[in-house]
Structure 1
């Protein structure tokens, strides 16, 4: 669950603060807007250059500089956008404990959260300055652009310096609201948290690593920052690696072309969603299924499946489709709790059907083919949708929720298809480009983002001067949260590897049983539990280094395991008590989460049956994948 400060409040503060207030509100935005637009255009140009322009130039002057320039800009906007996520309190965190604290204690714990984050920010800021100085003293040159590496590395002191500034602002804002006593209490709690390592208490490295990670999660520190802080504390306490390793990896771990697919897929979903895409897809699904019992529920699930092939995100699918279909279902007589539950469950398909950000992250973490993961996710996603449709049809018929009686004909269906044609082209571009051998997943994502931007601006015209900056900021902020999570998880994973944690866990489990069926069952249970309180992307980057060696030793294909993992964690999106899809759906309908949770349990049971089928019938995932 995320805490988000209302933007209207920020805007009002900026207005009252005059020019300085405006500058404080907007300092990152021009750079982020220009940077995101630049990398979309650069990679789109790279793709067209390779397949079109070279046909007329005999391949001369290949655009080798484009990928390197795009990577460097991507790293810059990722760390610059992190400050906006801090300012708007948009981060992936475990709020289960925080939300249950007495209201009078919450400000102090929020300041503790900020202070812990600030520790990492200041450390990377200082180490980043040292790294830039080292690069100036012993210059390295980027191979394609022929620029000194200290220029791209300057994002570390600049980005983490800006993050630290935003954290100080947030701490001061909280102290002004809650009082100086809360600030003093928070400082004391923070000092107690770090005291064991600072005073040199002798603890095992693994105890420090996982103990501190758990403490930071309980406090409410963002998961990515918790990973980085736990790694930092472990390096200080054990001395196994130099502390400045964190700054180096903060750059090198995301200097990766495949990871760039994440902001591009997010951008494609945001741009298309802003252009009235959801309405067109819903009209198409309603034309095809609306006359059946539970027709609106069936249309909702089908629309979620269509939208999943664009957004790559479960919560985004629920927000975009649920805001249209939940009120429509309630108006047609459906139980409002059922309406919320079915949208929350169908939204989970958003991460199964490609493109899917969890598949991108799993592919990077496991060194698996992202293209193969995409194609392997189609059948599990469609199967989940069909099972939800069958349940909705049966349940609606039982409750007497009949379809809407209106004239439907091949002509009206054809018209609905025609109206939605541009939206339906996105998965064709992405999957067709990848499996036709024309584009890498990252290039396909960039072309899809460019297509979404063009359609949103000039065809659907939902993107305009009044909302285009907000759309760009949403893309940058959302992707930055994920990118920082991946960077810090890389540090965490390397510390685990040095301490041989994955090998020890694998030996322990394989010592208990080497039965493949039982091991997969245990892992499924573990993932279902973790998925109830941890966001899927965070769970993937943390658990892949631990679990993948175990399953490969018992003969599970890494691509198949990626599908098992993502389907598992997708179910977590809709599982109480902290399933994010449930929060989004219940907020759309303005109903209590507890009521929606009771309604969703039988639906979750069916989704778990699909999970078991996917787990123990590998062909469901791998039948269309070549050797």
Structure 2
């Protein structure tokens, strides 16, 4: 008997360990396989759609059309967007306003972090429950997707699944926070959260507009992520006013991002991450150094030029600073440049990343304003190049005055040609994106998908920077980064609709136009507003919140929507380097391991030059519209 039981006794702990290991894997990595497969699928599907339309249909007479591809890709995109949000919660990545939060004591930071989680939890539970109600309704009265011929309740299932996972991750994070601090802090957070919602639960009527903006500002101040602040403020307003059913929040959470143009966002992010993983930034820097290195401030000039090249791939300011700054800031310091100047130059040059196409802020502005994304892309080229040239002129002047000369090494036509050849695959990305769009071959979303596919192939098989050790992490970075933006857009759509119902944009437009109808004064006031907002709010969030308010005002005084998009993006790009919250400054100072305050002082004259460029772009529309009109 004993001998028969021995294996069981030995095996039981082993089985228990295996079971715990499996549960731990589900706990830690549940979303990752779905996100990896989903992102890879939509890249391949849209790339296939593009090549099928322009190659297969021309070669095969009766090839037909692959109408199912776009619909399938959209549904998968919605699924991975909401499946990636729990991953972002777990990694504590989100877009929030931290000005007040960062100044709290450690005790109150613990408490208000839990308050933020509990507020997010409220929205997650509501959307999950309302999502189940929508699925039940769809099952009773089925609606069929036109291309795939599947019931709509199948794609809509992501609402209860995705938001339930968010709730799970929020509960886990709150539990960890309680363990870090104390149960009393958890109780205090629960009490504060209850007090926040008590006025609505008691039915106190403050007026829909007051509730909408009052709660939005309150959630922002206490550090709730901006997208969730928009969704919660909308939910509270619907509860207090009763103007629309609550399940509207769940419905718009799906339909607002079931959009082909919005899919360009993860594709452009993916292209930048895939190409950056393969040593792309180093090849671009070598090319710029060959061309500009001999001049005074040669490394600074090469840095700015490289940022301009990289901007045409990544579409992101902070990503440009991280990729280029990690190489150039140490190199500039080694060659005798002032380390604060080096950080300031890289931070400012990184802002060009959202001006030169492809640019995610242009995609979001185009969706919010219904302006042509293709026209926005081409209109951003000259302002981006002008900003780069101004920064290069300033760097040249400062370097010459301080004796920071370029690196002395032999340069020749042969070495320059070799640098071009080494960087050829990186330089092809803007050609693919812009050539495809303006050649009429691809939509911006298709061009983005092809660029992501190209970056994947180059990263795996040619540069070989993408491998089994980092490819999953690269995919997860794409998913979590884009999910934050996508959820922000979904919640902003709900917020914007309530503003429209309450006629908020019309009232604000009437108020401003009642003071003055001068285009010059109105644009100046808007620039000042955007510069202030850019100091504490991320550019993407500012765009989705402010476009519905400001666009009606500028169009009434004759400003072209495409021109206004450039004004907005250039303006908010300055916010990337505006103390005290400029994210590019944070990235640059962390690379150089210097104090943010010292870098902020060094960047002030550069900010003055960037504002001068902004004023030129604002009051000389031809800078933006010259290439568009041609």
TM-score with structure 2 length normalisation?
Answer: 0.97
Query: 1:534, 1:16 → 2: CA distance?
Result: 45
What is the alpha-carbon distance in structure 2 between the residues aligned to residue 431 and residue 147 of structure 1?
A: 35
Alignment match, 1:104: 107
Q: Equivalent of 1:521, from 524, 529, 538?
A: 524
Distance 1:488 1:202 in 2: 23
Does 1:387 pair with 2:390? yes
Deviations 1:274-332 (A, max 9, x none): 00000000000000001110000000000000000000000000000000000000000
User: Residue in 2 aligned with 1:615?
Assistant: 618
Q: Does 1:189 align with 2:192?
A: yes
Task: Work out whether 1:602 is the aligned partner of 2:605.
Answer: yes
Instruction: Decide which of 401, 417, 421 is 1:418's aligned counterpart.
Output: 421
Distance 2:20 2:365 in 1: 44
C-alpha distance in 1 between matches for 2:333 and 2:307? 18
Change (3 A) 1:59 1:289: farther
- SS for the counterpart of 1:256 is coil
Label 1:215 to 1:17 Cα distance change in 2 as closer, same or farther (>3 A).
Answer: farther
Gaps of 5+ in 2: 1-16
Instruction: Tell me what 1:284 maps to.
Output: 287
Q: Match of 1:172? A: 175
For 2:337 and 2:191, the matched residues in 1 are separated by: 52
Aligned match of 2:3: none
2:80 corresponds to 1:69: no
Residue by residue over 1:48-99, the C-alpha shift from the partner in whole angstroms, topping out at 9 and shown as x without a partner, is 0000001122253210000000000000000000000000000000111111
Question: 2:367 aligns to what?
Answer: 364
Give the aligned partner of residue 92 of structure 1.
95
How much has 1:240 moved relative to structure 2?
Answer: 1.1
What residue in structure 1 maps to residue 14 of structure 2? none
Q: Is the 8 A contact 1:294 1:401 kept in 2?
A: yes
How far apart are 1:428 and its partner, in Å? 0.1
2:222 pairs with 1:219:
yes
Q: Structure 2: how far apart are the matches of 1:388 and 1:59?
A: 55
CA distance in structure 1 between the partners assigned to 2:234 and 2:519 by the alignment: 32
Deviation at 1:494? Answer: 0.1
Correspondence for 1:559 among 559, 562, 582: 562
Q: How many residues align?
A: 614
How many Å separate the matches in 2 of 1:218 and 1:172?
23
Calculate the aligned-residue CA RMSD, in Å.
1.1
What is the alpha-carbon distance in structure 1 between the residues aligned to residue 475 and residue 588 of structure 2? 24
Mapped to 1, the partners of 2:491 and 2:542 lie a distance apart of: 13
- Find the counterpart in structure 2 of residue 626 from structure 1: 629
CA distance in 2, matches of 1:16, 1:458: 37
1:256 aligns with 2:259: yes
**Alignment partner, residue 23 of structure 1:** 26
- Aligned equivalent of 1:5: none
Task: Quote the Cα distance in structure 2 between the aligned partners of 1:501 and 1:605.
Answer: 33
Mark the CA change 1:518 to 1:15 in structure 2 (over 3 Å): closer, same or farther.
farther
User: How is 1:109-188 mapped onto 2 (pairs within 5 angstroms)?
Assistant: 109-188=112-191
Contact 1:15 1:21 in 2 (8 A): no
Q: Distance in 1 between matches of 2:168 and 2:543?
A: 30
Q: In the alignment, is residue 207 of structure 1 matched against residue 210 of structure 2?
A: yes
CA deviation after TM superposition for structure 1 residue 207, in Å: 0.7
* Match status 1:237 vs 2:240: yes
Task: Tell me by how many angstroms 1:16 deviates.
Answer: 13
Q: Report 1:295-444 matches (<5 A).
A: 295-444=298-447
SS of the equivalent of 2:559 reads: coil
Q: CA offsets per residue over residues 187-227 of structure 1, 9 Å max, x none?
A: 01101111111111120111100000001011111000000
Looking at structure 2, the residues matched to 619 and 246 of structure 1 have their Cα atoms a distance apart, in angstroms, of 41
Give the Cα separation in 1 of the matches to 2:82 and 2:393.
45
State the alpha-carbon separation in 2 of the partners of residues 347 and 24 from structure 1: 37
Shift of 1:565: 0.1
C-alpha deviations, 1:217-239, integer Å up to 9, x for none?
11111000000000000000111
Rounded to whole Å, the distance in 1 between the matches of 2:249 and 2:108 is 32
Matched, 1:456 2:450: no
Contact 1:268–1:445 (8 Å) recurs in 2: yes
3-state DSSP of counterpart to 2:628: coil
Deviation at residue 626 of structure 1 after TM alignment: 3.3
What is the distance in 2 between the residues matched to 1:15 and 1:279?
Answer: 44
**What are the equivalent positions in structure 2 for 1:532-571 lying under 5 Å apart?**
532-571=535-574
Do the aligned partners of 1:15 and 1:22 also contact (CA within 8 Å) in 2? no
How far the C-alpha of 1:18 sits from its partner, in A, is 2.6
Shift of 1:105: 1.2
Conserved 8 A contact 2:56-2:63:
no
CA distance in 1, matches of 2:581, 2:106: 19
Is the 1:355–1:430 contact (alpha carbons within 8 Å) kept by the matching residues of 2?
yes
Contact preservation (8 Å) 2:563, 2:621: yes
Counterpart in the other structure of 2:43 = 40
1:147 is displaced (CA, Å) by 0.2
Give how far 1:22 is off.
1.9
Structure 1 portions without partners, runs of 5+:
1-13
260, 272, 277: which one pairs with 2:275?
272
- Alpha-carbon distance in 2 for matches of 1:535, 1:249: 23
* C-alpha separation in 1, matches of 2:528 and 2:58: 53
1:226 to 1:299, Cα distance in 2 relative to 1, 3 A = same
In the other structure, the counterpart of 2:478 is: 475
Which deviates more, 56-65 or 547-556? 56-65
Query: d(CA) in 1 for partners of 2:467 and 2:372?
Result: 37
Runs of 4+ in 1 over 4 A off after TM superposition: 14-17
Deviations 1:4-52, CA, capped at 9 Å, x for gaps: xxxxxxxxxx999632222211100000000000000000000000000
